[in-house]
Amino acid sequence: MKFPALTSALNLRRGALVAMMSAGVLLTALPHAPATAQVRGLPDFTELVEQAGPSVVNIRTSEKAKPAAGNSQIDPGLEEFFKRFGIPVPGGRTPRGGNNGGDDDAPQRRGVGSGFVLTADGLIMTNAHVVDGADELIVTLTDKREFKARVIGADKRTDVAVVKIDATGLPAVKVGDVSRLKVGEWVMAIGSPFGLDNTVTAGIVSAKQRDTGDFLPFIQTDVAINPGNSGGPLLNMRGEVVGINSQIYSPSGGYAGISFAIPIDEAVRVADQLRASGRVIRGRIGVRIDAVTKEVADSIGLGKVTGALLRGIEAGSPAEKAGLEAGDIVTKVDGRVVEKPGDLQRAIGAVKPGAKATLQIFRKGNYRDVVVVVAELEPDAKVAAAAKADAPASTAARSVLGLTVAELSEAQKRELRIKGGVRVETADGPAARAGLKAGDVILAIDNSDIADVKQFNAVVAKVDKSRRVTMLVRRGDWVDYLVLQPAK
């Protein structure tokens, strides 16, 4: 349907506007298009900075260690910038006025980070990796007062730490509601990138519930975050903290447009446990988990891609005692839906050790409930020690083949009816291109049987990078040969 009268009126108005423009008349916003509508997407952060800025602190750390002979990871031009302004160089070198006298026991500047005041009596929240290994912590407020701080507790699994300074009347942050945070919403970060105090950056929320395999789902943003921002607050437009800036995705180590923040509601729950007991207690059931692929979901009749696939069951674990089997798919924990592996990990982690959890599983075309008595997850110290022990074993294989592997338990060997082999933990580069996946079992390399991780490392160390490597791999009940071209 046409409206000739309205069309004629619009044409007259358009002609009048053209005439005015050609005559040099300066046009202002039309009465029906208020100026505020034109700038609604361009917020002014000045009031937020004035409101929340005093709650943000700078954290300097030092440790007793020999000064590094060099730092090849720092760009020479950037290092010169640090030296010129007397800023600590990331990695431990002191640009000017540092200790060059050879005193091995003297504290050496190690790095800088950020944090924010949680309570007026001096509790400060930051990242665990900011305070890890530090012999001394110095907290600097925006009014330039400095305090020595002590660590109340740190949780490496979530990268949350709480430190305390002896001060009162501090401006505490307002804690926001993460459930109200929306993708596309403006957010702001305040911190000390490269030691530059009180630096403000802004952007939008790129995604929520971003699963990176850790115990907490992250808030993804495009806010500029760099070394030194770690531990600082991510704020919404109401001046409330909605996250702790924690990680960046970057091939170079610097900001590349993607950053991650720990949701503040999860961080506060961790902080409450740290304040109460100095550590976080989590549950475990002793399973190795993986994602459910569309191919698997279709082939077993699951119907949709959901749940966590149990790749393996630890011998003597709560899962084994409850009757869980490798190949089961966990779809719910205590009635809460498990959509991906991280959901299962976090749901079990939240169960108090000694308590029971009801798991809905999908096995051989049917759903059933299994009750598991949850055990306690190993403390961070044991996990860190195990990771350190495994590091030399994983590094060589990762650099040459793109693989990290782990030992098979005796229960897994019995289940698979094999005498040896190693389980693939991660597969990248050459390994991924050849088709290897997490959960595969490597039985032999170039016709040499692989008994354990030690032998695997010894064989990989002798690999000729100029020729291809043949692996005998077991996946489920099937075995196959895969050919890899090592990275040079």
Catalytic residues: 129, 159, 230
Cα 387 to Cα 215, 297, 393, 425, 460, distances in angstroms: 17, 33, 10, 13, 20
Could you give the CA distance from residue 465 to residue 452 in angstroms, rounded to a whole number? 22
For residue 407, which amino acid is it? Answer: E
Give the other-Cβ count within 10 Å of 103's Cβ.
Answer: 12
Could you give the CA distance from residue 486 to residue 442 in angstroms, rounded to a whole number? 16
Cα 409 to Cα 32, 393, 422, 423, 451, distances in angstroms: 72, 17, 10, 10, 12
Give the other-Cβ count within 10 Å of 310's Cβ.
Answer: 24
Residue 294: half-sphere exposure toward Cβ, Cα within 13 Å: 0
Give the other-Cβ count within 10 Å of 127's Cβ.
Answer: 27
